[in-house]
Chain A
Amino acid sequence: MAMFQQSVQLRPPAASTIAEGVDRLHFFLTGLTLFFTAIIFAAIFYFMVRHRRRSPDERPAGIEGSLPLEILWTLIPTFLCVWIFVWAASLYFENSRPPTRSTEIFVIGKQWMWHLQHPEGPREINELHVPVNTPVKLTMTSEDVIHDFYIPAFRVKKDVLPGRYTSLWFEATQTGTYHLFCAQYCGADHSEMIGWIFVMTPTDYAAWLAGGAKNEPMEVTGEKLFTRLGCVTCHTPDDKGRGPSLVGLYGKPEKLRSGDTRIVDEALIRQAIVNPNSVLLPNFAPVMPTFQGQVNEEQVLQLIAYVKSLGTEERQKK
């Protein structure tokens, strides 16, 4: 009995800034569904009883239809649908844009676990510690098949794809522990690819970051990789090397040889590392080798963190 009382919750925790908004829409739709189902069932029951056959050769009235009724019950659902669409779409738009000052954390999904990497250094497996009341943006990729990062309590979910980055953001509003699930079938242990999100007060979070295993920040590892893999020999800080200088490059638009202009973001830098011929620049010979197979996704993220850090002092000075 106690198990029953405890176990049948009706609502998951609403622990993020968007959860209440999503729930409001969800409850409206629930009410709408129950209302229309009820009136249809009620109408059916009423007609079944009121108009039940009373004699074998009963001949009911010949009613063909009613244009006004048809218009009415076409327009009302249409109106409702438009209203719901607009409500849901505007909520979705709001929820899809991360605030500019978000804490960035990187996620790599692989069969069958989640690797999470804080830029400051700490690494986690199947667990994510985040501070409360702070926007967090997750940049995610998969090492193998398609997975899906799902935190029911925050009402956020996004597929995690191999070969590209997807992202989601949230701002937790309550400290506590919440489920993390993989929500895209990915093979044998799909249902074991689960974990926990720990939302902590800012002080606790800072303590957690500082304590524990001393992993160096991502950009430091990235810098070491940058040297070890020889990137530094071509990508010198001035533009005199065989490759372009990467200082201050992140976030800027770049015109490619193909004529397209693209913003230098995580996706572009990743593409440049694994498939350089797809993002050639004018004025530079196409001599950059591909590093596909030489770096795993984690190392790619570390390199990206390093490139992002380049020129930030200059940027801050400006």
Chain B
Amino acid sequence: MADAAAPHPSGHAAAHPPGFAHQFEDMGQQHEAGSLGMWVFLVTEIMFFGGLFATYTIYRALYLPSFEIGSRLLNVKFGAVNTVILIGSSLTMALAIHAAQTGKRQATVVYLILTMILGAAFLFLKFNFEWTADYHEHVVPGFGFFVRPEWGAAGPHVPMFFCFYFFMTGLHALHMIIGFSILGVLTWMAHRGRFTPEYYAPLEISGLYWHFVDIVWIFLFPLLYLIGGRYALRGGG
């Protein structure tokens, strides 16, 4: 038979810090639940992107020449700069969390804004430079894709590479846009002093998400940009 636990101590409002959700027993449980929830969500994201990566891998194996042609048409410089930008943004995110943990409100806001700037820079480079250039070069499937004769027999399957390229980086960009919005909310909350050394769980949980989006890019970049045979060893092929 279940017995009753001791009733709430008096002074209810003082017993729980702000941001406490009443389905939980205490902040510790809330924090753990939030973290576990984000990790479980990230597992679903791994399965989501994983299905795409698996399909990409299969078609790359089937149509290697076409995929190599497509990969070589991508701009490695932009990809590399974007990779550095994203890794930097993960650093600033971690610094923001650390600042909140140590009670530095101003620093928290600054680091969050920096993270947003870097995220925006990533998206700006991608959309304004890479994708716009791709559109003008007629390599966007469904938007006037032009199969060049010099691609020879591998030509017909090059659109498939670009389909995967735009879909995978587009899905990634969508996740970044969502992350960017979350960062905006967090920056506002930090500015209003909502985070304390005791309560910074939203930052930590969003940080997990942001790092995950970063890691997805770290897989995408080599898979799409780097292994297209452009760095073949001498005497190979």
Tell me, yes or no, whether A binds B.
Answer: yes
Q: Please give the residue numbers on chain A whose beta carbons come within 8 Å of chain B beta carbons, in ascending order.
A: 275-277, 286, 290
Q: Which of B112-170 contact A (CB under 8 A)?
A: 152-154
Main SS class of interface, B: helix
B152 contacts across to A, CB distance below 8 A: 277, 286
**Minimal beta-carbon separation of B153 from chain A (angstroms):** 3
- Which single residue of chain A is at the shortest CB-CB distance from B66? A277
Q: Nearest CB to that of A275 among chain B residues?
A: B153
What does DSSP make chain A's interface, helix, strand, loop or mixed?
loop
List 6 additional contacts besides A277-B154, A286-B152, A286-B153; criterion CB under 8 Å. Answer: A275-B153, A276-B153, A277-B65, A277-B152, A277-B153, A290-B153
Question: What are 9 residue pairs bridging A and B, where the CB atoms are less than 8 Å apart in the complex?
Answer: A275-B153, A276-B153, A277-B65, A277-B152, A277-B153, A277-B154, A286-B152, A286-B153, A290-B153
Interface centre among B65, B152, B153, B154 (most CB of A within 10 A): B153
**Residues of A with C-beta under 8 A to B65:** 277
Contacts of A275 in B (CB 8 A): 153
Report the bound CA distance from A277 to B153 in whole Å: 6
| Cα distance A290–B65 in the bound complex, in angstroms | 16
What is the total of A-B residue contacts with beta carbons within 8 Å? 9
The 6 closest A-B pairs by CB, nearest first: A277-B153, A277-B154, A286-B153, A290-B153, A276-B153, A277-B152
A4 to chain B, nearest CB (A): 51
Chain B positions within 8 Å of A276 at CB level: 153
CA distance A106 to B153 in the complex (A): 29
Q: For the complex, give the distance between the alpha carbons of A275 and B154 in Å.
A: 10
Q: How far is the CA of A141 from the CA of B107 in the complex (A)?
A: 67
Q: How far is the CB of A11 from chain B (nearest CB, A)?
A: 42
Find the B residue at minimum CB distance from A290.
B153
Bound-state Cα–Cα, A275 to B65, Å: 13
**Contact code string B63-85 (vs A, CB < 8 Å = 1, else 0):** 00100000000000000000000
Q: How far is the CB of B160 from chain A (nearest CB, A)?
A: 14
Chain B residues lying within 8 Å of A277, measured Cβ to Cβ, are 65, 152-154
In the bound assembly, the distance between CA atoms of A275 and B153 in angstroms comes to: 8
**Contacting residues, chain A, for B153 (C-beta < 8 A):** 275-277, 286, 290
Minimal beta-carbon separation of A163 from chain B (angstroms)? 12
The distance in angstroms between the C-alpha atoms of A209 and B153, with both chains bound, is 42
Nearest Cβ in chain B — how far from A124, in angstroms?
Answer: 35
Nearest chain B CB to A290 CB, angstrom units = 7
Query: Within the complex, what minimum Cβ distance (angstroms) separates A16 from chain B?
Result: 36
A5 CB to nearest B CB, Å: 54
CA distance A214 to B65 in the complex (A): 46
Chain A residues near B154 (CB, 8 Å)? 277
Cβ contacts under 8 Å, A286 to chain B: 152-153
Q: Shortest Cβ distance from B217 into chain A, in angstroms?
A: 32
Interface string of B54-67 (1 = CB under 8 A from A): 00000000000100
Q: How far is the CB of B162 from chain A (nearest CB, A)?
A: 19
Contacting residues, chain B, for A290 (C-beta < 8 A): 153
| Closest-CB distance, A282 to chain B (whole angstroms) | 14
Q: How far is the CA of A290 from the CA of B153 in the complex (A)?
A: 8
